[in-house]
Amino acid sequence: MLFFPIYISYPLPVERIRLLTPSTRQLLIISALTGGLTVAGLVVLSAVGAIEWPVAVQLALSAATLAALAVTVMSVRRVDGKALRTDKRVKRQEAALTAQRDRLAALTTQVERLARAGQKNVDTVVTALGEDRVELAGHTASLNGHTVALNGHTRRLDEQSAALTAIRSALAGLDESLRRQRSSRTEYNQIEALVDLRALLQPRAPLPRLRGWAASPDVLRLLVERVAADRPKLIVECGSGASSVWLGYAVERFGGGRVVALEHDERFAGTSRDLIAAHGLDSIVEVRHAPLTEWQTFPWYDPAVFEDLSDAGLVFVDGPPEQTGPLARYPAVPLLLPHCAPDAWIVLDDTVRPDEREVAERWLREYPELSRTTYAAEKGAMIFRRSTL
């Protein structure tokens, strides 16, 4: 009875009340302890004679009954509290379900409205498709007709392509045949020129092979023809080697004059001298070592090596080699023309190469007194002469 006023005067939080509320097991224990203490107390009182046994037994039964009733009441109250909480929870869930049901009903209404609108759109589209289907069928039939025609064109194109392939193959075979014929003609021309040179000059010792790095027989025959026709007093050769020997034999055969070969490679100059000596031409052919120096950005034979030369009747420009620099043979005319006779011939070799053709064009632009004749040699050659007017 003392706890009730305190609870009224000082309300506790719900969590605190839950902690203070004993469980059913605790209530049973408390009731058992209370009943046991009561019975023990009655036994003690009856033993000391304070209470008679029948009265003590009745009091004990009454105490046990009251404890049991208290436990029952507390259990019922606890069960009632759980039932109330469960009922509240159920009501909250029913309210939530009712709200969900209302939202679902509104959503259903909206879906039905959209479905009706969609059905109208579908009907419209189906009607339009029905009209387009007829037009599409017409286009399909027309397309099929075009496809048949295209297949026919494709077959004809394939046939034409096969024919073109056959023609291309035939042309390739013809080109290869022409190439072989040209090669055979070139070989024949070189052999013919070499036979002419050997028959005319009759060398006294074996000679290194021509062509490749060395001059070809056809251009050497051109040089020998000029020596035979003009008998120049001086022949200047840019470069040295087998061509120096052939020019020496031409001078020896047709009389008068000498050959001066300019060679930038000292070791090759020695080899050329040995070759000339082996043919007994060292009194006619002189190989001068002329290192390359820079002249107006061009690498060229040192001018000091040939400054004593004059009245050259034939100049054979077959050096310096291409790899020494672009337009490497351009300085030949600017530097050697002052050492030439008025009617000198200048022969430029290797004019199949772009650099040599550019050199020839520059000579003609810068020296209008020069005229040019193209010679059909294996590696190409051009002949330049001063105008006699």
Work out the burial of residue 256: count CB atoms within 10 Å of its CB; fewer than 13 is exposed, 13-18 middle, 19 or more buried. Answer: exposed
How far from chain centre, in Å, is Cα 186? Answer: 44
- Mean pLDDT value across residues 203-220: 80
Q: Please give the structure tokens belonging to residue 294.
A: 């820079």
Q: Cβ of 302: how many Cβ atoms within 10 Å?
A: 16
Tokens of residue 336, six digits: 């050697």
Phi first, then psi: what are they for 120, rounded to 5°? -65, -45
Q: Which two tokens stand for residue 29?
A: 């224990």
- Closest alpha carbon to 198 in 274, 257, 249: 249
Per-residue model confidence as pLDDT tens digits over 72-131: 766 666 666 677 787 788 788 888 888 888 888 888 888 788 878 877 776 676 576 666
CATH code of the domain made up of 205-386: 3.40.50.150
Question: Does the pLDDT at position 204 exceed 50?
Answer: yes
Inter-residue contact 356 to 350 (CB < 8 Å): yes
Torsion from C-alpha of 273, 275, 281, 285, nearest 10 degrees: -40
> What confidence tens digit (pLDDT) does each residue in 45-82 have?
777 777 777 777 777 777 777 767 766 766 666 666 67
Task: Identify which has the larger pLDDT, 336 or 167.
Answer: 336
Element (H, E) at 355: helix 354-366
Contact 224, 197 (CB under 8 A): yes
What average pLDDT does this structure show over 133-142?
73
Question: How far apart, in whole angstroms, are the C-alpha atoms of residue 366 and residue 127?
Answer: 87
Q: pTM of the predicted model, to two decimals?
A: 0.55
Pair of tokens at residue 348: 């430029």
Dist. CA 244–CA 122, nearest whole Å:
101
Q: List, for residues 21-51, the tens digit of each pLDDT value.
A: 566 667 667 767 777 787 777 778 777 777 7
Q: How many whole angstroms separate alpha carbon 28 and alpha carbon 24? A: 6
pLDDT band at 208, cuts 50/70/90? confident
- Say if CB 239 and CB 271 are below 8 A apart: no
How far is Cα 118 from Cα 114, in angstroms, rounded to an integer?
6
Across the strands, what pairs with 314? 235, 345
Gap between the Cα atoms of 97 and 347, Å rounded: 114
pLDDT digits (tens, 9 = 90+) for 299-329: 999 999 999 999 999 999 998 998 999 999 9
Nearest CA to 359 out of 330, 333, 337, 334 is that of: 330
Contact 185, 178 (CB under 8 A): no
pLDDT score, position 153:
76
Q: Which pLDDT does position 316 carry in this prediction?
A: 97
**Which tokens go with 343?**
């009617």
Q: How confident is the model at residue 3 (pLDDT cuts 50, 70, 90)?
A: very low
Across the chain, mean pLDDT equals 81
pLDDT value at residue 7? 38
Dist CA 178 CA 67 (whole Å): 134
Give pLDDT, residue 382: 96
The pLDDT assigned to 186 comes to 64
pLDDT of the residue at 10: 44
Identify the weakest region by mean pLDDT among 13-17, 237-241, 266-270: 13-17
Degrees to nearest 5, angle at CA 32 with 31 and 34 = 65
| Predicted local confidence at residue 17, as pLDDT | 47
DSSP code at position 21? S
Per-residue pLDDT band at 260 (split at 50, 70, 90): very high
Q: Choose between 142 and 180: higher pLDDT.
A: 142
CB atoms within 10 A of CB 279: 20
Q: What percent of the chain has pLDDT over 90?
A: 41
% residues pLDDT > 70 (the chain)? 79
Domain boundary assignment for the chain = 1-155, 205-386
Name the pairing type of β-strands 381-386 and 370-375: antiparallel
Question: Which sign does the torsion angle of CA 56, 61, 67, 70 carry?
Answer: negative
Confidence of residue 216 (pLDDT cuts 50, 70, 90): confident
Specify the range with the lowest mean pLDDT, choosing from 41-50, 251-260, 326-335: 41-50
The backbone torsions φ and ψ at residue 367, rounded to the nearest 5 degrees and listed phi first, read -130, 80
290 in Cβ contact with 262 (< 8 Å): yes
Sheet holding 381-386, edge to edge: 285-289, 258-263, 234-238, 312-317, 340-349, 381-386, 370-375
